[in-house]
Amino acid sequence: MKILFRDVWNPTSLEISEWAYSNEKIPDQDWELAVNNYENIPMICTFIEDEKCCHTAFFLSSLYVFTGDIVRSNDVKEIEKLSVLLSKLEMRAKSEKLKDWIKRSKYLLQHPKSYDYAYWGLSSKYVY
């Protein structure tokens, strides 16, 4: 069954969810950039913690990209918004993978000069 996206670069949460539980390949190169936004992060976290999700590594990598992009932007409001989100997610996180992302993200927010694309960019070494 091929999942159809209305617009692969602006996927709906339903489309992302359907893809998460499919065996389909990534719909487009660098698709992490398409799924990353504040509204999707809680959903992405549930995928990472669900053993039935077929694409946990992809979604975990997308979280590292999300954090890295925000830190690189040096946008104070966005950094604060991510900090608040991380604190909320920290209370609910169950998996070590998700807890590690939260811990590493909080560290990076406090130490932005430690940013390294190899870990916070596409194909994060923290994941792959």
Amino acid found at 96: E
Nearest to 35 by CA among 22, 50, 20, 23: 20
Residue 67 counted as domain residue = yes
Residue 37 counted as domain residue = yes
Nearest to 95 by CA among 49, 51, 60: 49
Spatial separation of the C-alpha atoms in residues 97 and 103, rounded to whole Å: 10
Do 90 and 96 form a contact (C-beta atoms < 8 A)? no
DSSP annotation of 94 reads: -
- Say what the pLDDT of residue 125 is: 97
- Say what the pLDDT of residue 4 is: 79
pLDDT digits (tens, 9 = 90+) for 16-42: 999 999 999 999 999 999 999 999 999
The whole model's pTM is what? 0.94
Spatial separation of the C-alpha atoms in residues 37 and 17, rounded to whole Å: 15
- Say what the pLDDT of residue 2 is: 72
CA angle 23, 29, 30 (to 5 degrees): 105
- Say what the pLDDT of residue 1 is: 56
Mean pLDDT, each 10-residue run in order, the chain (128 residues) = 84 96 93 95 97 97 98 97 97 96 98 98 95
CB atoms within 10 A of CB 94: 10
Count of structural domains within the chain:
1
